[in-house]
Chains A and B, each alone.
Chain A
């Protein structure tokens, strides 16, 4: 039985759509990255001036970003283990992290000593030790578990994907110049390590340790209390 003209048109439309998707394989992951980054930028830059300190309003674009990431993982058949929610390669990732972290730590402490801004407040550090690893885990999941993986779909395991991840990380820390610079360098390191040993827990601990060291070594005014987005100005 011959297909009706309407059915033929629909089939042709379907073929055209499939051809478009096949030809634009790089565009979709880049769009996914841009979409997630945009949600975070909306939360950082739009919610505070327009809706005050409402965490509920800020949660809306972030929820959309997480929904997209979840949906995308399912579409790409990615397992939690592949994304980096695992422990078996923890030491492999830790080994890759230890030397650059040590070098960065020495540099940060040296700057703190030179600028006489080094300070250790036990109570404050205890508070940071409780929430910074979780905060780091969330950021590393978005940055590596999603952005890095999508960047690799486009550029493979190359300097281009590392650069894209680092730039995204720095962009989300603007307009704080020192933090943007530090996160660019940190982003490069963590993206490099993730591409060789995808382990989010090791990266989250590294993230927490480096953030704590940065906050203890550089003055509050230099880092502007680690404020980013529109909060930086107030």
Chain B
């Protein structure tokens, strides 16, 4: 079945195979980078300003869509504690030139926690892949805070149903 293939033709075929391999490597690389940029957009910008026994607060913007309000989720000690839209007024963020308008702040009520040290993390939620993917990107840096025994008791009492 085999016909004689001239060495020069074999060399061309080899070059073709090498070129194809390089193009495919670049293609896969481009797919991976494109996926990374789509799923983990680098355009979220914000900080976590405060975390204590009462509130967790900060601000976040999406530089790819500066007027949009970012959805954020709060995790305390690694557990989901709530979600909301970052649309509260933060004139200081606009004044410092970090946002086109002032409505990019968020405040969460800290859930009842036992006395001791805790960690709060706030994540910006990003949808991609025509709504099939949701990724979380941390806003600023996690904040560690202390809850005193009296704050823990106060919070537990205020959250208990009346009469119990």
**Known contacts A42-B24, A71-B16: does B1 contact A17 (CB below 8 Å)?**
no
Separation in Å of the B20 CB from the closest CB of chain A? 5
> Interface residues, chain A, CB within 8 Å of chain B?
17-18, 21-22, 28, 31-32, 35, 38-39, 42, 46-47, 49-52, 57, 60-61, 64, 67-68, 71-72, 75-78, 82, 149, 152-153
Count how many chain B residues have C-beta atoms less than 8 Å from C-beta atoms of the other chain. 26
**Contact present for B27 and A76 (CB under 8 Å):** no
Q: For chain B residues 1-17, which have a beta carbon within 8 Å of chain A?
A: 1-3, 5, 7, 9-14, 16-17
**Contact present for B13 and A51 (CB under 8 Å):** no
Kindly list chain B residues whose C-beta atoms are within 8 Å of the C-beta of A18: 7
Verify if B65 is at the interface (C-beta below 8 Å from A). Answer: no
Q: Is the interface of A mostly helix, strand, loop or mixed?
A: helix
Tally the A-B contacts, defined by beta carbons under 8 Å: 67
Contact of B31 among A32, A46, A64, A78 (CB under 8 A): A46
Separation in Å of the B121 CB from the closest CB of chain A? 27
CA A17 to CA B27, docked complex, whole Å: 29
Verify if B32 is at the interface (C-beta below 8 Å from A). Answer: yes
CA A137 to CA B16, docked complex, whole Å: 26
Cβ-closest chain B residue relative to A39 = B24
CA A25 to CA B5, docked complex, whole Å: 10
**Known contacts A17-B11, A75-B10, A75-B13: does B23 contact A57 (CB below 8 Å)?**
no
CA A32 to CA B20, docked complex, whole Å: 11
CA A60 to CA B30, docked complex, whole Å: 12
Separation in Å of the A74 CB from the closest CB of chain B? 9
**Contact present for B12 and A61 (CB under 8 Å):** no
**Contact present for A68 and B27 (CB under 8 Å):** no
Separation in Å of the B82 CB from the closest CB of chain A? 30
